[in-house]
Structure 1
Amino acid sequence: MRSMIVAVLLAIFLQSAPARADWLQASSDHFVIYAQDSERDLRRFSEQLERYHTALALLFNVTGPAPSPSNRVSVYVVASMQAVRKIHGGDNKYIGGFYLPRAGGSLAIIPRVDAAKSAEDVSMVTLLHEYAHHFMISANSMQRPRWFSEGAAEFFSSSSFAADGSMILGRPALHRAMELFYSPDVKVADLLDPTNYDKRARRNYDAFYGKSWLLYHYLTFDAARKGQFARYLSLLDKGMAQRDAAAEAFGDFDVLEKDVEHYLMRRKINVLPIGSERLKIGDIVIRPLSAGEAAMMPVVIRSKRGVDAEAATSLVAEARNVAALYPRDAAVFSALAEAEYDAGNDSEAIAAADAALALDPGQTNAYVQKGYALFRRAADTEGDRVAAYNKARAPFVALNKRENDHPLPLVYYYRSFAEQGGEPPKLAIDGLVRAVELAPFDFGLRMNLGEALVRLDRKEEARTILRPVAFDPHGGGLAERAADMIARLDKAPSGQDAEAEARLDKAGTELAGS
């Protein structure tokens, strides 16, 4: 009797418990979203992101075709912030979502978004902030100070979306309110003169982001300073130092500080509404993932994030288990190929990629993973290196025929020559230039092209390509290397010294996507 009661109660619980939504994919001009959500909410979310892109393009006067399918931003929506932090790794307790800019594979990983409350949703704010960075470096690769980049991203990330398709930009960044009032203060002078900010003794989180938003908002809307913002950017573009450009454009920093603080105390601030008639977007296609794709999604998300050797070994075992259950699913074997490659199993990666392509020749990632594995083999070959690299190039050539504007085939065409130690032909250099045009947000790729141009003594072009890398505040060692290269270019009238040549030859093999 007791077991019967337990069974009845369990049946009632299962019937009343909310069913977990199936995995869906929303495909649009600029984004591919993967989420366990209702079709209605996912469509609304996708529409909002497309309208956001359209608004940025309108404001920055950017026109042009949509990116190739593989060069769109993929958004993976996971269960919670805790899941985001686990996937991200490290101990940063402030991570609410993150974005990785990669040629042919940019992605964002965020918790579930409440599209009905987008302006207050932390996940949405995080995603809009990161996409603003992605868009602005794509729209204009000129040097921009950190405060400007972060202030602009904060300005746009607080956008709201109305049901009628309209938007409001420049709303108060409420998520920065506590920071502005209670975090250690940051002065306007600290923003406009980074050397001044770097001298500050600080141990905890300060008001840098909040003050950057405030200054950007003030300079955008304050009538008394009309034209100063444009003047400031123009001076920077001409090569003037950050502090000097700010002083000439804005005048006395102490006066500007008082004006900005007074602006913060206003009861109302200006916003920028954009009507729905100006925010036209393309079609959005939503489809359910196959059972195999859905089962493989945890593997896919962690693979796309990137794994170390220990995690790769665990992940490939999980991927093999899923592949054993779904032997006729091409997407499953494409994901398996990536897991095998990450685990160092080149033969298995090639076999899985071939299995995926036999089932579906349109599996883009299968071409990429097979190419990666063959390139790693070619680098280790002791036989005919020319033949090995010709073979390695083949999957990327096939991918290029299917998707002409995918940047990775262009990168790996160049790499197939550079790794052999010879001078790549002009066609390969032109392909690398085109890859940067397609994916200007990938700073590793920019570095590759900059190094190639230095070896060809195309110094001015190299400086233009390398400057955004050198001035990336989050660039770490890559930024330092780019800044060092620019400094060497400025010192040497032509060519490079022997030490620099040797370093660049070594760096030339460290190409994007590897």
Structure 2
Amino acid sequence: MNWRGLLALLCGLAMAPAAQAEWLEAKSRHFTLYSDSSEKALRRQSEALERLDWGLRRFLNVPDEPDIASRKVTVFMVDDGDVRRLCRCTNAAGFYFSRVSGSIAFGAKGGWTEGNDWGRIVLFHEYAHHFLLGTYNIAFPAWYSEGFAEFASTMRITEESATIGHAAQHRAYGLLSGERLTARQMLDPATQLAGSQMDAFYGRGWLMTHYFSFDRARNTQFLAYLSAINRGTPAITAAEEAFGDLKLLDRKLSSYLGQRRLLGMTMPLAGQPVPPVAIRRLTDGEADMIDLRMQSLRGVDNDSAAKLYAKAAPIGARYQNDPVVQGWMAEMAYDAGHDEAALAAADKAIARDPASVQALLYQGFVKLRQVRLAKSTDAKAWAGVRASIVKANRVDPDDAEPLWWFWQTFKLQGIAPTPSALKGLHRAQELAPQDNDVRFAAALARIEAGEIPAAQRLLRPLAFHPHAPANNAASRVLAALDAGKKGTEAISAGLEANEEEERATAAQD
């Protein structure tokens, strides 16, 4: 080849588009991951998350949950900038939310190496929240919810072992240099924290969790404290009865933090099988749609739903035979108010995949919206709404979303739910214990049935939720029940509080 030909070849290579990374899906027992990273990196991250789950179960001595697909966490591993774009915030390396349709997390695909592990720390932290809510049907105070998440976030996993208890170096400022919060402030749910104190709150929560986990005497006290809270004992009273002098506890915590070496627990992986991970390349349609799918899952309003659908429609038109793409299209069209397009997409998805729960549900959602807009009282029309939802339930009886919506149709119709609908509601709560709306509805249903202790057990985790306002709906219902109010009075207190919270949220938006 002469120099002129070589130069032409080099110019052609320079102008050629760079190869686009493939989007992959990795499915394991507890997780479904999506990323456009390498298969090797995705497999390593999937295995690490499974080891995290195994390590938490081993440390807390709790059995694995049933192998229910709807209980998996779906994680999108993306670039740092995409995390912030989807979060709509400036400094996040990951975030998590739970709905009855499934728990979702967005994490940074980078930051998983030694010395650069912020992405891993954040995702481990978020999964710890999911783990606690799904494993225990009890209330945890805010300091422990966040402290345990920080405690889990530093688990180190190698080919030989998983070690829990490593120092939360990322909270060093809050622990050592920031404003110190006393044990009483940490243990009192009425404590109001300024934004500048949150780092100290997280750091101190990690310290208290570490101390109460590895000091045998304090662990016994901690369990007594948790038991008292879940019996309805006020938090500070429970703390003083369990831990004794809180000023002495402060001094002990400071002494514990000042130790040259902190205890940890190393759990050997010898004899433990490598977590099985099934990896596949996304179809062309799924890959073209995946960014819009992430935005849709993140949540839309009327304006953003319309814009998202406008971008998705041409992609959907190119991949009319892809049932996953058409299922996603059905959701985006429905969110944008295009009912006919949503039904058409759902029909296409079902034609290719009769087991598409998403498509069956959106057939039902369109019908539900239509009967509500018509203010229909026609029993046959409402039965038609339920027919699609029942079909979705039959495809996967352990999917919480059809069960939840079957119950919802009775409430929206304005008639009493049938016994099977109530049974479905409570099963949905068992399957999706992290969903606050489902838990609250199940608690109110227990009150209506006169099952007050069961209702109180469901409400306490909501009342102590770390991100709920102090006077939240669940805490008001609990207070009403404790004051001896009848079921309807207690429920009214909660519904009124819910409306106040919704108005406050709308005002912030």
Which of residues 428, 433, 446 in structure 1 aligns to 2:421?
Answer: 428
Q: Give 5+ residue unaligned stretches, structure 1.
A: none
55-64 or 122-131, larger mean C-alpha shift = 55-64
Q: Deviations over 1:252-295 (max 9, x none)?
A: 22222122112222221111111114754652110000111000
How much has 1:331 moved relative to structure 2?
A: 1.1
Q: What's 1:135 paired with? A: 131
1:489 aligns with 2:486: no
2:230–2:460 CA contact under 8 A, matched in 1: no
Q: Which SS does the other structure have where 2:478 is aligned?
A: helix
1:57 aligns with 2:57: yes
Which of residues 356, 359, 379 in structure 1 aligns to 2:352?
Answer: 359
Q: Distance in 2 between matches of 1:42 and 1:21?
A: 13
1:276 aligns with 2:269: yes
Which of residues 143, 156, 159 in structure 2 aligns to 1:160?
Answer: 156
CA distance 1:45–1:495, shift in 2 (3 Å): closer
1:71 aligns with 2:67: no
How much has 1:223 moved relative to structure 2?
A: 5.0
Q: Deviations over 1:56-85 (max 9, x none)?
A: 2223333254342233110011122x2212
2:146–2:466 CA contact under 8 A, matched in 1: no
Size of the aligned set, in residue pairs, is 498
1:186 aligns with 2:185: no
Q: Distance in 2 between matches of 1:278 and 1:149?
A: 32
Q: Deviations over 1:202-228 (max 9, x none)?
A: 656441000110111112223564522
Q: What's 1:30 paired with? A: 30
How much has 1:120 moved relative to structure 2?
A: 4.6
CA distance 1:36–1:464, shift in 2 (3 Å): same
Q: Which SS does the other structure have where 1:184 is aligned?
A: coil
1:261 aligns with 2:258: no
Matches within 5 A, 1:434-453: 434-453=427-446
1:131 is matched by which residue type in structure 2? Y
Q: Which SS does the other structure have where 2:102 is aligned?
A: coil
Q: What's 1:243 paired with? A: 236
Which of residues 462, 470, 492 in structure 2 aligns to 1:500?
Answer: 492
Q: What's 2:90 paired with? A: 93
Matches within 5 A, 1:382-401: 382-401=375-394
2:148–2:209 CA contact under 8 A, matched in 1: yes
Q: Distance in 1 between matches of 2:136 and 2:216?
A: 25
1:208 is matched by which residue type in structure 2? F
CA distance 1:129–1:279, shift in 2 (3 Å): farther
Q: Distance in 1 between matches of 2:195 and 2:387?
A: 53
How much has 1:474 moved relative to structure 2?
A: 0.9
Q: What's 2:82 paired with? A: 83
319-328 or 331-340, larger mean C-alpha shift = 319-328
Q: What's 1:374 paired with? A: 367
How much has 1:503 moved relative to structure 2?
A: 5.2
CA distance 1:207–1:393, shift in 2 (3 Å): same
How much has 1:5 moved relative to structure 2?
A: 9.4
Matches within 5 A, 1:213-362: 213-222=206-215, 225=218, 227-277=220-270, 279-280=272-273, 282-362=275-355
1:158–1:172 CA contact under 8 A, matched in 2: yes
Q: Distance in 1 between matches of 2:152 and 2:491?
A: 45
How much has 1:487 moved relative to structure 2?
A: 2.4
1:102 aligns with 2:94: no
1:44 aligns with 2:44: yes
1:130 is matched by which residue type in structure 2? E
Q: Distance in 2 between matches of 1:501 and 1:252?
A: 36
CA distance 1:480–1:194, shift in 2 (3 Å): closer
1:367–1:396 CA contact under 8 A, matched in 2: yes
2:97–2:104 CA contact under 8 A, matched in 1: yes
Percent identity between the two aligned chains? 35
Q: Distance in 1 between matches of 2:237 and 2:449?
A: 34
1:342 is matched by which residue type in structure 2? D
Q: Distance in 1 between matches of 2:279 and 2:385?
A: 35
1:430 is matched by which residue type in structure 2? K
Q: Distance in 2 between matches of 1:10 and 1:68?
A: 54
Q: Which SS does the other structure have where 2:472 is aligned?
A: helix
How much has 1:232 moved relative to structure 2?
A: 2.2
Q: Which SS does the other structure have where 2:280 is aligned?
A: strand
2:477–2:491 CA contact under 8 A, matched in 1: no
How much has 1:235 moved relative to structure 2?
A: 2.5
How much has 1:304 moved relative to structure 2?
A: 0.5
CA distance 1:489–1:230, shift in 2 (3 Å): closer
Q: What's 2:118 paired with? A: 122
1:71–1:103 CA contact under 8 A, matched in 2: no
Q: Distance in 1 between matches of 2:417 and 2:194?
A: 48
Q: Distance in 2 between matches of 1:207 and 1:388?
A: 56
Q: Which SS does the other structure have where 1:419 is aligned?
A: helix
How much has 1:201 moved relative to structure 2?
A: 6.4
2:112–2:118 CA contact under 8 A, matched in 1: no
CA distance 1:65–1:232, shift in 2 (3 Å): closer
How much has 1:168 moved relative to structure 2?
A: 0.7
How much has 1:351 moved relative to structure 2?
A: 1.2
Q: Which SS does the other structure have where 1:100 is aligned?
A: strand
How much has 1:502 moved relative to structure 2?
A: 11
Q: Distance in 2 between matches of 1:501 and 1:254?
A: 37
Per the normalisation by structure 1, the TM-score is: 0.89
How much has 1:374 moved relative to structure 2?
A: 2.1
Q: Distance in 2 between matches of 1:314 and 1:356?
A: 22
Q: Deviations over 1:223-246 (max 9, x none)?
A: 564522222223223322211222
1:333–1:352 CA contact under 8 A, matched in 2: yes
CA distance 1:267–1:237, shift in 2 (3 Å): same
Q: What's 1:112 paired with? A: 109
How much has 1:368 moved relative to structure 2?
A: 2.5
How much has 1:134 moved relative to structure 2?
A: 0.7
Q: Distance in 2 between matches of 1:453 and 1:233?
A: 23
Q: Distance in 2 between matches of 1:365 and 1:345?
A: 17
Q: Distance in 1 between matches of 2:260 and 2:72?
A: 40
How much has 1:162 moved relative to structure 2?
A: 0.4
367-376 or 394-403, larger mean C-alpha shift = 367-376
2:57–2:64 CA contact under 8 A, matched in 1: no
